[in-house]
Structure 1
């Protein structure tokens, strides 16, 4: 789709809300349909004044620190515009007010994408930063992103990809994992246990049907006491059982340090010391640290990552026609950052 250039094209644009999902399609994003209208007006004014090809340098920064993700999407957005781009690497940490990306070229070649590229960086960096915080809390123990159910499906793979770049060891969203060349992580939900009616029966069917590389990890909080269910499953699968998962709902107190510790001690006492304990359900960094100390071996983190606030990004023009310039309150001219690398 050819990018929108003026208000006439915007006014003539017809969208049928009854025949589609409400998320933007890729050609609508590259076509400028998700930008703020004032950038289209700006583009038309500059073309009218014969200033659309004015060379500018723009810089992007954030007010707070974080992990930069979204760079690859911005690269694909701008790669056919003829501009030059320098950036921090995807997954790199940045400091408050540090320039994370610099764009140079004719303003009308990329200016109308400001809304789009800032959104790409802001959301993905927010998710990646939360994932990094969760991973730091877990130390050398793995965490997995289970946040797809908390966001719109159009952005779920973006979110889970960002989480893995931020430090998550895997993700449950199929497309999110595949976008990074990985396989999605996860076993089965409570639904299958409720339908079958017995945890051990589900565990045995899973063991029988799933390929050898599939992790033999079983939920144990659906029907019985978690300790009792863990031991039943361990007895049934024996050496093939690799782990049990605790996802006790808040109505029953959630997954506590006491529960994790008891399950660990009971499994060890029964000779199942190799069985790992995977925990999930409302995990935040403080709880991850406590549960880890109690004996948890791995963590499924959902809403803490998916509900991350975007890290607000700002794009400022710092040069026009090769001359330093800036709005009041900002310093004219480019801000040197030796960490930036040529992207386009």
Structure 2
């Protein structure tokens, strides 16, 4: 790699953060240098070098602490690319089970050991987010699911989270960078803020329909000022057949979006001659709520905190062979685990 990693404890002690650092998140160079690693990997490097064992060849396996959907392997591949190691892994999007080996790394421990913290973190967090998105995808069946979780996590990891959601099955994401990293365009219309500034939902809807690109979906937020059914009808009458959908994001203080509300909005739109208008629902959406809302008539879902707040799937790295000799810590079985589905990625 072009970036030199931390070599010893003296370099750790000498390292100083910038006093005017804008954000506390690690940038790409800091991760590649090993600055996000646990300190004990630097101590390990010092010990192995002192004993002349830094070139010892090992094979390490990474296994899961739970079941779900694997994500994050592309970042791990990018992080380790260029190192004299061989890496095998399951593909992103693969279903994984507890204790399953998802990755195997062979090389000198001094070369890749410093990245254990980063590798495990990338896999654990992304897999947790992907798994939550998969649960929503399964609950929604053929209905669309869009990840709205960026506002619930640190901006440095928001793109990682939303890309992982797409890996897990979300149809798209609102975070610009997250969607772009997944090879998509971001999805979303407008927030309550523009409604509050302009002062009228219908006026915003008219301008939105007039000035947005032709491929921008005409889906209007209808819970800012008036009863959702009343506002939906006002917008439908103003835009006619140009209105594709309305979004219900009713505040929790008013009970949130309920199946009853969805049924009423859908029925009133149909009675008024606008059966083509779809109902997009957001705000506190979970896999448990999705089927009930679908039954009531919801057509698509914006899911935020359920995905962004998903628990990471613990990942553990174990050395299973040293210079070709099977080894393991107590409680684990020495030697390589049978993992025929691993594919070489480096």
Shorter-chain TM band: over 0.9
> Among 251, 254, 278, which residue is 1:252 paired with?
254
Aligned to 2:13: 11
Residue in 1 that maps onto 2:143: 141
Provide the secondary structure at the position in 2 that maps to 1:285. Answer: coil
In structure 1, the residue matched to 2:296 is: 294
Distance, in Å, in 1 between the alignment partners of 2:279 and 2:13 is 57
Out of 226, 229, 239, the residue aligned to residue 227 of structure 1 is 229
Alpha-carbon deviations, 1:128-157, whole Å to 9, x = none? Answer: 000000111101101000000000000000
1-structure distance, mates of 2:15, 2:110: 20
- Of 263-272 and 35-44, the range deviating more from structure 2: 263-272
Q: Which moved more, 1:10-19 or 1:243-252?
A: 10-19
Where 2:288 maps in the other structure, the secondary structure is helix
2:274 — aligned with what? 272
Whole-Å separation in 2 of the counterparts to 1:41 and 1:182: 42
CA distance in 2, matches of 1:145, 1:33: 30
> Is 2:224 aligned against 1:205?
no
Tell me the distance in 1 between the aligned counterparts of 2:77 and 2:21. 31
- Aligned-residue offset at 1:20: 2.9
**Residue 116 in 1 paired to residue 118 in 2?**
yes
Instruction: Indicate which of 305, 308, 311 corresponds to 1:309.
Output: 311
Residue of structure 2 in register with 1:190 after alignment:
192
Deviates more, 1:242-251 or 1:263-272: 263-272
Match of 1:154 in 2: 156
User: Is 2:88 the counterpart of 1:89?
Assistant: no
Matched, 1:38 2:30: no
Q: TM-score, normalised by structure 2?
A: 0.98
Q: Following superposition, which runs of at least 4 residues in structure 1 exceed 3 angstroms of deviation?
A: none
Gaps of 5+ in 2: none
What displacement does 1:91 show?
Answer: 1.1
Q: Distance in 1 between matches of 2:114 and 2:176?
A: 32
2:326 corresponds in structure 1 to: 324
**In 2, Cα distance between the equivalents of 1:37 and 1:215?**
49
| Residue in 1 that maps onto 2:342 | 340
Secondary structure of the structure 1 residue equivalent to 2:269? helix
Size of the alignment, in residue pairs?
A: 344
In 1, distance between residues paired with 2:21 and 2:14?
18
| C-alpha distance after superposition, 1:14-41 (max 9, x if no partner) | 1124333100010000000000000000
**Deviations along 1:274-296, whole A, 9 cap, x unmatched?**
11000000011111111011100
TM-score, scaled relative to structure 1: 0.99
Instruction: Tell me how far apart the structure 2 counterparts of residues 166 and 187 of structure 1 sit (CA, whole Å).
Output: 23
**Within 2, Cα distance between the matches of 1:75 and 1:63?**
21
1:73 to 69, 72, 75: 75
